[in-house]
């Protein structure tokens, strides 16, 4: 029997122990699982309280069960749900009772969603949105994922793909005409117009994106600078708890310390690093190496200096991304700390920040600037439709093919038609219509078990 025809089950809620655990069963044997454990099938989509029994007639748990007959279910198959007390032994007994039903096995990660996808309930972008929704930590991540789940990108891609196929039909009709020596201008002109409009639309969407696909992982901000300037103190201020050790001794922080922050709904990872200096201590040397590496990879560096000290331009230059990076010069900010000791005041000199990490002066202004930076970085966050590099790459591919088909249409319809097919194919892959098994497998494997 093909794995797709087997019935699958999994814990779909959080790990045991929990107050209530939801176990989902999907596939042809879901109804059998429900009747075997809970007696007769309950009315579709209505919660019923039942005492569950195992194969030997022994009680398992006092539960609530649900029955979703296919194809009108989340997966498109028959689905049964057991809402039980979320104890480890309860779940073990329930799993044992379900798995003795023939052709029934534990689900792989993402397998329920995979089935929804196979049954046409979701396209691939919507499935990706669903996975992102489960992993969303901040409100902006949640909203973006929900938009994707609701088909914001999928609907547009479907529309583009259909219009490309229409344009390509006109062009191909032109190919037949040209055999007869006719000028297919009446066919070509509307096709060219349609392709141009499509190209404009897709490139506009791409241009408006910012780094919207980075919203899933978040922005990385590194705090760096010489030893003892107050980097860990700033870290603790931003985290609002004592995540890093602070001491008056230079060289306190050795490892890279990370915290996840939610700044106005933007996910931001702040990293505190070892103070950068020449040292003979091999442990500290390693800390300095790590600090440099992480600062170079960060999206933004807060370079901390003490009060009115001058900033060594060489130290800063060495932190610029070397090769391949896209960090602009503006993404290293000079932050003057310890302004409580005199020296520079808040907000001066221009373009720099003045703070007292230990007292908290200037921190709200710094946080506000970080939120603005994040908003610019992620781009049109309320309109962002691209949530993954995969999606962006395929849209770029579609747009490039459309551009080339416009360039080629004067030279010959065949070449133009070929590019249109490539554009439609890229959008087909975006929607998951034409992908090969291993590509889909790789995407769904990263999903949660039970989803």
Ligand X SMILES: Nc1nc2c(c(=O)[nH]1)N(C=O)[C@@H](CNc1ccc(C(=O)N[C@@H](CCC(=O)O)C(=O)O)cc1)CN2
Ligand Y SMILES: Nc1nc2c(ncn2[C@@H]2O[C@H](COP(=O)(O)OP(=O)(O)OP(=O)(O)O)[C@@H](O)[C@H]2O)c(=O)[nH]1
The answer to whether 103 is annotated as binding is no
Pick the closest to residue 192 from 156, 167, 165 (CA basis). 167
81 touching ligand X, by CB under 6 A: yes
Q: How far apart are the C-alpha atoms of 228 and 198, rounded to whole Å? A: 56
**Cβ closer to ligand X: 22 or 257?**
22
Region 59-78 residues binding ligand X, contact defined as CB under 6 A: 68, 72-74
**Cβ closer to ligand Y: 109 or 251?**
251
Region 234-253 residues binding Mg ion, contact defined as CB under 5 A: 252-253
Helices (H), 208-304: 231-239, 282-297
**Cβ closer to ligand Y: 48 or 279?**
279
CB of 335 to ligand Y, least distance (A): 11
Which residues, other chains included, contact 444 with Cβ-Cβ below 8 Å and sequence gap of 6+?
Answer: 108, 109, 110, 111, 113, 114, 117, 127
Sites of contact with ligand Y (CB under 6 A): 227-233, 246-248, 250-253, 274-275, 337-338, 340-341, 356-358
| Candidate ranges 96-104, 148-156, 230-238, 276-284; the one touching Mg ion (CB under 5 A) | 230-238
Region 92-131 residues binding ligand X, contact defined as CB under 6 A: 121
Angle at alpha carbon of residue 346, lines to 343 and 348, rounded to 5°: 75
CB of 21 to ligand X, least distance (A): 11
CA quadruple 296, 301, 305, 311: dihedral sign: positive
User: Could you tell me how many residues of this chain bind Mg ion (CB under 5 A)?
Assistant: 4
Residue number with the smallest Cβ distance to ligand Y: 275
Q: Is 64 helix (H, G, I), strand (E, B) or coil?
A: strand
Among 232, 381, 401, 405, binds Mg ion (CB under 5 A): 232
CB of 229 to Mg ion, least distance (A): 9
26 touching ligand X, by CB under 6 A: no
Q: Which residues pair with 82 in a beta bridge?
A: 23, 65
Which residues, other chains included, contact 377 with Cβ-Cβ below 8 Å and sequence gap of 6+?
Answer: 210, 211, 214, 219, 299
Q: How far apart are the C-alpha atoms of 81 and 103, rounded to whole Å? A: 18
**Cβ closer to ligand Y: 65 or 291?**
291
Which residues, other chains included, contact 443 with Cβ-Cβ below 8 Å and sequence gap of 6+?
Answer: 110, 124, 127, 128, 390
CB of 334 to Mg ion, least distance (A): 18
| Candidate ranges 93-101, 216-224, 229-237, 393-401; the one touching Mg ion (CB under 5 A) | 229-237
Which residues, other chains included, contact 99 with Cβ-Cβ below 8 Å and sequence gap of 6+?
Answer: 9, 105, 106
Binding-site annotation: residue ranges for GTP = 228-233, 247-253, 272-275
Q: Which residues bind ligand X (CB under 6 A)?
A: 22, 68, 72-74, 81, 121
């Amino acid at each position: 029997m093909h794995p797709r025809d087997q019935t699958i089950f999994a814990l779909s809620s959080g790990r045991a122990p929990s107050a209530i655990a939801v176990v989902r069963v999907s596939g042809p044997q879901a109804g059998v699982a429900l009747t075997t454990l809970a007696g007769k099938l309950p009315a579709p989509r209505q919660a019923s309280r039942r005492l569950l029994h195992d194969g030997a007639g022994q009680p398992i748990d006092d539960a609530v069960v649900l029955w979703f007959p296919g194809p009108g279910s989340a997966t498109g198959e028959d689905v049964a749900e057991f809402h039980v007390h979320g104890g480890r032994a309860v779940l073990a007994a329930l799993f044992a009772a379900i798995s003795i039903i023939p052709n029934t096995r534990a689900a792989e990660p993402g397998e329920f969603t995979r089935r929804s996808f196979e049954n046409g309930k979701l396209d691939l972008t919507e499935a990706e949105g669903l996975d992102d929704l489960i992993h969303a930590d901040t409100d902006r991540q949640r909203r973006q994922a929900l938009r994707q789940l609701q088909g914001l990108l999928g609907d547009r891609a479907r529309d583009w793909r259909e219009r490309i196929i229409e344009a390509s039909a006109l062009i191909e009709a032109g190919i037949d005409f040209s055999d007869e020596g006719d000028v297919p201008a009446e066919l070509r002109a509307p096709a060219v117009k349609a392709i141009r409009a499509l190209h404009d639309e897709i490139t506009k969407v791409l241009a408006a994106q910012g780094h919207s696909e980075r919203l899933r992982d978040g922005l990385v901000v590194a705090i760096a600078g010489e030893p003892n300037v107050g980097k860990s103190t700033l870290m603790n201020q931003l985290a609002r708890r004592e995540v890093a050790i602070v001491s008056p001794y230079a060289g306190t922080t050795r490892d890279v310390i990370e915290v996840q922050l939610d700044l106005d709904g933007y996910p931001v990872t702040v990293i505190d690093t070892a103070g950068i200096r020449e040292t003979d201590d091999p442990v500290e040397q390693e800390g300095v190496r790590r600090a440099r590496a992480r600062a170079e990879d960060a999206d933004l560096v807060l370079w901390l200096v003490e009060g009115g000290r001058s900033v060594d331009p060489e130290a800063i230059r060495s932190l610029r991304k070397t090769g391949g990076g896209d960090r602009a010069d503006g993404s290293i900010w000079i932050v003057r700390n310890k302004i409580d000791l005199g020296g520079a005041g808040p907000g001066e000199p221009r373009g720099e920040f003045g703070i007292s990490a230990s007292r908290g002066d200037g921190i709200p202004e710094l946080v506000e600037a970080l939120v603005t930076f994040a908003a610019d970085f992620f781009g049109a966050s309320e309109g962002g439709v691209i949530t993954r590099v995969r999606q962006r790459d395929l849209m770029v591919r579609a747009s490039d093919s459309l551009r080339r088909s416009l360039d080629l249409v004067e030279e010959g319809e065949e070449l133009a038609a070929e590019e249109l097919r490539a554009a439609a194919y890229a959008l087909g892959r975006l929607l998951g219509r034409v992908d090969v098994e291993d590509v889909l497998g790789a995407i769904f494997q990263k999903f949660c078990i039970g989803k």
